Amino acid sequence: MTEPLTYGRYLHLDALLTAQAPLSRPEAHDELLFIIQHQTSELWLKLALHELTGACDDLADDDLPLALKRLARVKHVQKQLIEQWTVLATLTPTEYQRFRGFLGSSSGFQSYQYRAVEFVLGAKDPAMLEVHADDETARALLTSALDRPSLYDEFLRLLARRGHAIPADVLERDVRVPHREDPRLVEVFRAIYDDPEHHWDVYETCEELVDIEDNLQLWRFRHLKTVERTIGLRTGTGGTSGASFLRRVLDLTFFPELYAVRTAL
């Protein structure tokens, strides 16, 4: 006889709530906070990746309204991720030092779901696959995201199908490499921004993409400030350069023409 479905069974709470295994000995009280912060972030990243991938498919199918619905959800997920830093920021340097040494070579830099989100948004780097050479699941996810057109690629293709003057070499480019700013695209977006009433849905999509990049930059900034208040300028776990590395990535952009058009208007 099949057991009745319950809340706990449906959500696999027996596995979920026993997935926190602090390594510090004696066990540091605050390590649980650190683990849950990162586990919940990975769950939100899983949902964000699911919605972004769906939005890519919707754009490829010319279903812009559904893509916009998914992107709106992504923005709410991002807000959850941003706000989570305020919880981790309650971890003082002294509290963190009580278990930091037990983390070994593990690092948030190794989050393959975060890298996959970046790939889907267009910041592709094949070298990231080597970071996960020993993890088949991670490599498969990243390879899939690397090989397919990014969200921005799909949006530009949709614009081309609607008659906007997207250059052929942009449409036919190697999607495994990052997109680079193209002044010809700035002119395309300038025409859209100059006449939003006649291009409302793509105009709205442009602003949704800017919102998503803005939120990601806020997430990066909150990450940076949380690291600075917890370990200062010390080297990060796993050998990363810590705050200095996080400060550099604030300059990375996904949709450069959507920012450049603001200067052109």
Q: Is the pLDDT of residue 237 over 70?
A: no
For residue 37, say whether it is annotated as part of any ligand binding site: yes
Architecture per CATH, 28-98+106-150+160-262 = Up-down Bundle (1.20)
Residue 54: which pLDDT band, with cuts at 50, 70 and 90? very high
The mean pLDDT of the chain is 94
Residue 88: which pLDDT band, with cuts at 50, 70 and 90? very high
Q: What percent of the chain has pLDDT over 70?
A: 96
Q: Tokens for 58, please give them.
A: 């919707």
d(Cα 115, Cα 168) in Å, to the nearest integer?
28
* Contact in structure between 164 and 188 (CB atoms under 8 Å): yes
Q: Where are the domains of the chain?
A: 28-98+106-150+160-262
For residue 96, say whether it is annotated as part of any ligand binding site: yes
Asked if omega into 93 is within 30° of 0 (cis), the reply is no
d(Cα 17, Cα 171) in Å, to the nearest integer?
46
- pLDDT at residue 129 in the model: 92
- pLDDT at residue 56 in the model: 98
Q: Is the pLDDT of residue 230 over 80?
A: yes
Q: Is the pLDDT of residue 248 over 90?
A: no
Residue 148: which pLDDT band, with cuts at 50, 70 and 90? very high
> Beta-carbon neighbour count of residue 93 at 10 Å?
12
For residue 198, say whether it is annotated as part of any ligand binding site: no
Q: What average pLDDT does the segment 150-176 reach?
A: 98
Residue 109: which pLDDT band, with cuts at 50, 70 and 90? confident
Question: What separation in angstroms does the CA of 196 have from each of 30, 71, 131, 188, 207?
Answer: 51, 20, 43, 12, 11
- pLDDT at residue 236 in the model: 60
Residue 238: which pLDDT band, with cuts at 50, 70 and 90? low
Considering the entire predicted model, what is its pTM? 0.94
Q: Is the pLDDT of residue 22 over 60?
A: yes
For residue 35, say whether it is annotated as part of any ligand binding site: yes
For residue 36, say whether it is annotated as part of any ligand binding site: yes
Q: Is the pLDDT of residue 164 over 70?
A: yes
Q: Is the pLDDT of residue 139 over 80?
A: yes
For residue 223, say whether it is annotated as part of any ligand binding site: yes
For residue 38, say whether it is annotated as part of any ligand binding site: yes
- pLDDT at residue 159 in the model: 98
Tell me the CA end-to-end span of the chain in Å, nearest whole number.
68
